[in-house]
Structure 1
Amino acid sequence: MDKFELHLPVESEQQNAISLLKDNCNLSIAELKTAINKGALWLTTGKTTKRFRRVKKALKPSDTIHFYYDKDVLQQTTDDAILLADYHDFSLWFKPFGMLSQGSKWSEHTTITRFVSQYFENQRSVFLVHRLDRATTGIMVVTHSKAATRLFGQLFEKHDLIKTYHALCHHNTLELEKEIVIDSPIDDKAATSKVALLAYDKESDYALVEVTIETGRKHQIRKHLASIGMPIVGDRLHGIATNNTEQDLQLCAVRLAFTSPIDEQLVDINLPGNLKPTII
């Protein structure tokens, strides 16, 4: 089977996760270890259920293991994230296309949190404080302590920061150097995007725009740009069909600026040009 799940109560102190799984599915030990390393195994102890990788650890008869196997998910890959700046309590990263902000019960091997947790020589705790869609590239903050996570959570909740995106769009309905405000609601919630045209290529009919958002609704930029006749290139959900159906979504978080809640120092990160969408 390419996809299945198992929920197995532990019956003996002699059992470990590998032996218990091997007795209940047709996967090889190598296949089981690979899936577990990618985050497919969970352990319930008492009232707590957590992802579990210590396959040789003895289990207790009151425990239950949960194994979620999806061959297609486990075969997914992504480019590496790129460290942009490290402030010890938090760090800033470039998230590539296809990398997830957080995992699912089936895996976490293509998430930015997993990548960052394995990146540093002296392993740090890694916490997520905001998200980018799987298809969106750009700057993300991760924190490395519970105190920093709480402070950054408040920062993002109050929208006390500048988030700027670049998007490559089909068509152009804007004028150079004139910013427009789109405030149509998203899912019946207030949403505001400020959009300015950076460049337009008449031959390809591609426009490069800069977007600053004051709210963070789901697919806000994609929906707002589509609403003015400028769907983002590569947007299979809100965009238009093109001959190049494999093209990635051309939406990128290019700048993040804020006053650090840790030490009140200004942090202003801009992506280098080679990581931003371009017309040519």
Structure 2
Amino acid sequence: MQKLSLTKTVGPNDPATACKFLSEFTALSKIRVKDAMVKGAVWLKKQKGKQHRCRRATAGLKPGDILSIYYDKALLSISPPLSKRISDQGRYSIWVKPAGLMSQGTKYGDHCSLLRQAALYYKSKREVYLIHRLDREAAGLVLLAHDKTAAGRLSRLFQKQQIIKRYTARVLGNLTAALPGHKIDLKLDGKSALTEVAVDYYDQETHTSMVNIVIRTGRKHQIRRHLEMVGHPVI
């Protein structure tokens, strides 16, 4: 089985542990269910409480609980690249996220995410909050907070642009004369979006430009979409 989604409410005569419950109601073996649980693809909602990832195979169930599994064999089989912590300031830390690693997980799992790697690094002894994100394809520095107050304060600094994120990219073509004012001011998803681009150099041999970028708005995939729109896609 390559992919499946199942959400089921626990009945009075159903198995009392998460792994047994899911192996009974799916075609997955207990080994595959356990692997999916460890990698964050199983969710549990108790009658009183919020839905959360359920990682323990022996997690107890009661009638009325709701258990969900989002199984993607291809995703669960990935061995993600490893992130690296380069600074720890107590209430926040700075990490290098390599290309190919997500910033945070999805309902199908979180083992391919920086957030999960950081949580495992601290062995659940410290809270981990994602302050900003980088696309999976991008590599760079990511700031993580370790308490709610620090997370809120750091988020506000980003919102007020008192912390500036700068990006470097290689794009197709000669961008030197293509952007008057070095700005791309084109709406995305019906919302205003502003990207500032400065050309570092143009490589005539490869017909590509190295550019430095600052985004003044935070639209989804803004850099890639804006550069594609002006005819100079990211390589």
Q: Name the TM-score, length of structure 1 as normaliser.
A: 0.75
> 2:54, 2:124 → 1: CA distance?
21
Pairing of 1:153-192 with structure 2 (within 5 A): 153-174=155-176, 180-192=182-194
> 1:13, 1:227 → 2: CA distance?
54
Deviations 1:99-123 (A, max 9, x none): 1122222111111110110113563
> 2:181, 2:98 → 1: CA distance?
28
Give the number of the structure whose residues are more often helix, by fraction: 2
> 2:78, 2:124 → 1: CA distance?
27
* Aligned partners of 2:171 and 2:211 also within 8 Å: yes
Give the aligned partner of residue 7 of structure 1.
7
> 1:14, 1:184 → 2: CA distance?
55
> 2:204, 2:155 → 1: CA distance?
43
Q: 1:197 to 1:52 in 2, by over 3 A?
A: same
Deviations 1:32-73 (A, max 9, x none): 111110011111112521111122232222322112211122
> Percent identity at matched positions?
37
Deviations 1:106-150 (A, max 9, x none): 111111110110113563211122222222221111111111111
Pairing of 1:202-217 with structure 2 (within 5 A): 202-217=204-219
Shift of 1:164: 0.8
Shift of 1:214: 1.7
DSSP-derived class of the 2:153 partner: helix
Give the aligned partner of residue 31 of structure 2.
30
Q: 1:173 to 1:21 in 2, by over 3 A?
A: closer
DSSP-derived class of the 1:23 partner: helix
Shift of 1:168: 0.5
> 1:229, 1:18 → 2: CA distance?
50
Give the aligned partner of residue 60 of structure 1.
62
* Aligned partners of 2:131 and 2:145 also within 8 Å: yes
Shift of 1:14: 6.7
Shift of 1:160: 2.2
* Aligned partners of 1:127 and 1:142 also within 8 Å: yes
DSSP-derived class of the 1:162 partner: coil
Indicate which of 94, 97, 100 corresponds to 1:95.
Answer: 97
Q: State the number of aligned residues.
A: 231
- Does structure 1 residue 75 correspond to structure 2 residue 77? yes
* Aligned partners of 2:87 and 2:95 also within 8 Å: yes
Shift of 1:16: 0.7
* Aligned partners of 1:18 and 1:32 also within 8 Å: yes
> 1:210, 1:119 → 2: CA distance?
32
Indicate which of 183, 196, 199 corresponds to 2:198.
Answer: 196
DSSP-derived class of the 1:133 partner: coil
* Aligned partners of 1:172 and 1:229 also within 8 Å: no
Shift of 1:156: 2.1
Deviations 1:201-240 (A, max 9, x none): 211112111112222222222233234432210xxxxxxx
Shift of 1:171: 1.1
DSSP-derived class of the 2:224 partner: helix
Unaligned runs of 5+ in 2: none
> 1:153, 1:39 → 2: CA distance?
26
* Aligned partners of 1:194 and 1:211 also within 8 Å: yes
> 1:129, 1:33 → 2: CA distance?
30
Q: 1:13 to 1:148 in 2, by over 3 A?
A: farther
* Aligned partners of 1:173 and 1:229 also within 8 Å: no
* Aligned partners of 2:91 and 2:146 also within 8 Å: yes
- How large is the RMSD of aligned CA atoms in angstroms? 2.2
> 2:188, 2:29 → 1: CA distance?
47
Give the aligned partner of residue 251 of structure 1.
none
* Aligned partners of 1:39 and 1:53 also within 8 Å: yes
Indicate which of 219, 224, 229 corresponds to 2:231.
Answer: 229
> 1:224, 1:26 → 2: CA distance?
44
> 2:14, 2:224 → 1: CA distance?
53
